[in-house]
Amino acid sequence: MWTQALVSNLGGLGFDGEFHLVNPRGGEMLGRPVAREIPEGVDAAYVMVGTERAPEVLEECGRRGVASAVLLTAGFKEMGQEGAILEKRLVERARELGIGLLGPNCLGFVNYHRRLAAYGLLVVPPLLAGGVALVSQSGAMLLHFHRMAQARGIGLAATVSIGNEGMLTAADFFEAFIDDPRVKVIGALLEGIRDAAGFLRASERALAAGKPLVVFKVGHTEAGRRSISAHTGSLAGEDEVLDAVFRRHGVVRVRSLEELVETCALLAHAGWPAGSRTAVLTTSGGACGIVSDLVEGTGIEMPDFPENVKRRLAALLPVFGTPQNPMDTTGVVVDQPALLAACLDAVNEEGGYQAFFINSDPPREPGTNPSRVEERFASLAAAVARLPFAAVAQTSAVDLTDYARETLRGHGLHLCNGLTLGLRALDGAIAYSRMRARMRRAEAPRERAAPELVAGRSGALSESDSKRLLELYGVVGPEEWLAADAEEAAAAAESLGFPVVVKVHSAEIAHKAAAGGVRLRLTEREAVRQAFEEVLEAARRAHPSAVIDGALISRDVRDARAELILGAKRDPMFGPVVLVGAGGVFVEAVRDVALRLAPVDEEEALEMLDELRVPVAGDRGAAARALVGVGELALDLGERLVALDVNPLFVLERGVVAADALVVLS
């Protein structure tokens, strides 16, 4: 099956190079001669032998000077330990032989500009060449990319199945596509990110180059699921970390196969808008309702038209039309193609919109009056060309007819595949525009050194050590004393002033409250003495073998305007991330958190506070600076960091107090 498809692909799509079938048995296959060994002058090999024969074929490629090979053969890393060793050996040998290896366990690639489909499933023409390059770990998806592109009139540059990424990784292809002037947008369907450093490097280059990288990440990796004692471990799950990574590195995240293709197509065709202010013009009231519904919860903003625009539109529209955003130009546009253009001009000239979303269903067939149909396409194309940015979408997700596709291409128009996907694609383009605007010059990396305080330490630090560490970064706790006995506790309380908190102190008890080791709101000396004895007693019962230093006595913060959790952890793939969330009992239940890769600056920290659903009252500047400090500490700790919590951080009218803290080192 694979051979038949491959031969048909190489011979039937207009590829202008030569190809040979090779098999030691020779003879003839599918009406073509079969060479017994690889001929001279071959650039690339598509290898589809069994696992055990792959090494010898690689050697033959090496002898014959073949520069690159696609390895369809499976039975390697995907089969476990043994296969992984086999694969490693094969890749090392390929490197020695100077062969660039795609796969193993991959189906190959399609180069649309060269019309070269070195791919194991049948590719049915037409091949529409264009600016979208698509990468997938799963090889079968290339076929679906191809079909979707055909159905929607999307021009592709290349599709690549990367399989096990034994040598060439997703990032390698991203890099190649960034350097290829024919590629405008890069899309990827990834089950895992196997080369995190390469991925980050490539995505940064892509952002700088203005070549959007659009990723549909599916499935889950095990590494992100480690359970650790700090809350931040579970709050910053793999998916949240990936969101933070993508946001920092300018990667547009999509959530379905269809959205991947659609978003790439819009970005390749129309670029991205300068902002989110969007004017919407449709051809039916139903479409207006649907658009209003679908934009909720997206980054698309749809402010109503200013009065002067409304006046101009009212003069253009039939009497039963209403000039509002989103606007129904009414069914009369079908008979009056110039009306849509006039409306678009009116909104564009005086509305100050950065993006246009136009619902239009151009004719599917030339019909009885082709010149009139042609006029409709031409009029739409001319109007769109005058806009700063426009996404044009048909109403529902159905394929273009061949006629419509070719006519649209002839007029330089692209049609999003229905309102639902069109608005998703527009949302993606706006997200990209926002990330471009925020793109910062790479900071000169500064020397990072872990503070002396952590030298030789590992595991959970005690509360007071955790706080001392955070203080070095400007995250300051309440005034507090470590009391060794009840009398010291009472004296400390009197000196601090009531009410106070009494907390058992031990590096070995991470969850003090759960162990009965915390007493709040103590208003008198005797209560403090009693609380001291009780928390130690309870903690000893809960952790019989723990070394207990005594109890921390600190003033009870009663005038907090907000309660937050700050945190950081080291993601195994992407390094330190920093987090802020709604504090108190809601930490785990509501998961109201904002995440970023460390470090963050004060502006970004304030943005994170804005993202929380729970409003943060009090001294937001101080809260933001504490978040900046946590990010710096996370970077300095480097690989030593497992996770850290500041929980709660009380936000006061002025300043903040890190009431409790926990740092876990590796």
Residues lying near a copy of itself in the complex (CB under 8 A) are found at 1, 74-75, 78-79, 124, 136-141, 144, 147-148, 150-151, 189, 191, 218-220, 255-258, 261, 283-290, 292-294, 320, 331, 334-335, 364-365, 395-399, 417-420, 523, 582, 585-586, 589-592, 613-615
* Nearer residue to a copy of itself within complex by CB, 111 or 329: 329
Residues whose CB falls within 8 Å of the CB of residue 190, separated by 6 or more in sequence, listed in order: 135, 136, 137, 170, 215, 216, 217, 218
Tell me how far, at minimum, the Cβ of 369 lies from a copy of itself, in Å. Answer: 11
Residue 349 has which token pair?
């000239």
Q: Which of 618, 584, 625 is nearest to 603 (CA)?
A: 625
* Nearer residue to a copy of itself within complex by CB, 257 or 542: 257
- Please say whether the beta carbons of 480 and 661 come within 8 A: no
Residue 21 has which token pair?
């079938």
Quick one: how far is CA 140 from the chain centroid?
23
Tell me how far, at minimum, the Cβ of 590 lies from a copy of itself, in Å. Answer: 5
* Nearer residue to a copy of itself within complex by CB, 282 or 506: 282
Tell me how far, at minimum, the Cβ of 418 lies from a copy of itself, in Å. Answer: 6
User: Which residues sit opposite 551 in a β-bridge?
Assistant: 483, 504
**Residue recorded with tokens 């001929």:** 39
* Nearer residue to a copy of itself within complex by CB, 234 or 284: 284
* Nearer residue to a copy of itself within complex by CB, 10 or 333: 333
Tell me how far, at minimum, the Cβ of 221 lies from a copy of itself, in Å. Answer: 11
Tell me how far, at minimum, the Cβ of 93 lies from a copy of itself, in Å. Answer: 22
Distance CA 423, CA 403 (A): 25
Q: Which contiguous run of DSSP H or E holds residue 627?
A: helix 620-637
Tell me how far, at minimum, the Cβ of 282 lies from a copy of itself, in Å. Answer: 9
| DSSP state at residue 301 | B
* Nearer residue to a copy of itself within complex by CB, 546 or 614: 614
Tell me how far, at minimum, the Cβ of 548 lies from a copy of itself, in Å. Answer: 27
Instruction: Give the length of the chain.
Output: 666
Quick one: how far is CA 513 from the chain centroid?
36
Q: Which contiguous run of DSSP H or E holds residue 550?
A: strand 550-555
- Please say whether the beta carbons of 475 and 658 come within 8 A: yes
**Is the Cα dihedral 202, 208, 214, 218 positive or negative?**
positive
Residue type, 276: S
* Nearer residue to a copy of itself within complex by CB, 379 or 417: 417
Residue 492 has which token pair?
């400390």
Tell me how far, at minimum, the Cβ of 578 lies from a copy of itself, in Å. Answer: 22
Phi-psi region at 474: left, alpha or beta (left = phi > 0; alpha = psi -120 to 50): left
Quick one: how far is CA 98 from the chain centroid?
34
Distance CA 569, CA 230 (A): 9
Distance CA 645, CA 666 (A): 15
Tell me how far, at minimum, the Cβ of 429 lies from a copy of itself, in Å. Answer: 19
* Nearer residue to a copy of itself within complex by CB, 169 or 282: 282
| DSSP state at residue 277 | B
* Nearer residue to a copy of itself within complex by CB, 224 or 629: 224
Distance CA 197, CA 207 (A): 16
Quick one: how far is CA 648 from the chain centroid?
29
Q: Which of 293, 248, 149, 160 is nearest to 576 (CA)?
A: 248
* Nearer residue to a copy of itself within complex by CB, 264 or 641: 264
Tell me how far, at minimum, the Cβ of 261 lies from a copy of itself, in Å. Answer: 8
- Please say whether the beta carbons of 273 and 354 come within 8 A: yes
Sheet with 355-359, strands from edge to edge, namely 327-328, 278-282, 355-359, 390-393, 415-416
Tell me how far, at minimum, the Cβ of 215 lies from a copy of itself, in Å. Answer: 12
Pairing of strands 28-29, 562-571: unpaired
Tell me how far, at minimum, the Cβ of 523 lies from a copy of itself, in Å. Answer: 8
* Nearer residue to a copy of itself within complex by CB, 179 or 365: 365
Distance CA 636, CA 559 (A): 33
* CA triple 575-581-587, angle to 5 deg: 110
Tell me how far, at minimum, the Cβ of 231 lies from a copy of itself, in Å. Answer: 15
* Nearer residue to a copy of itself within complex by CB, 53 or 591: 591
Tell me how far, at minimum, the Cβ of 168 lies from a copy of itself, in Å. Answer: 18
Q: What are phi and psi of 631, to 5 degrees?
A: -65, -40
Cis peptide before 126 (omega within 30 of 0): yes
Count CA within 13 A, CB hemisphere, residue 578.
Answer: 28
Neighbours of 585 (CB within 10 A): 9
* Nearer residue to a copy of itself within complex by CB, 117 or 598: 117
* Nearer residue to a copy of itself within complex by CB, 35 or 334: 334
* Nearer residue to a copy of itself within complex by CB, 68 or 284: 284
Tell me how far, at minimum, the Cβ of 156 lies from a copy of itself, in Å. Answer: 14
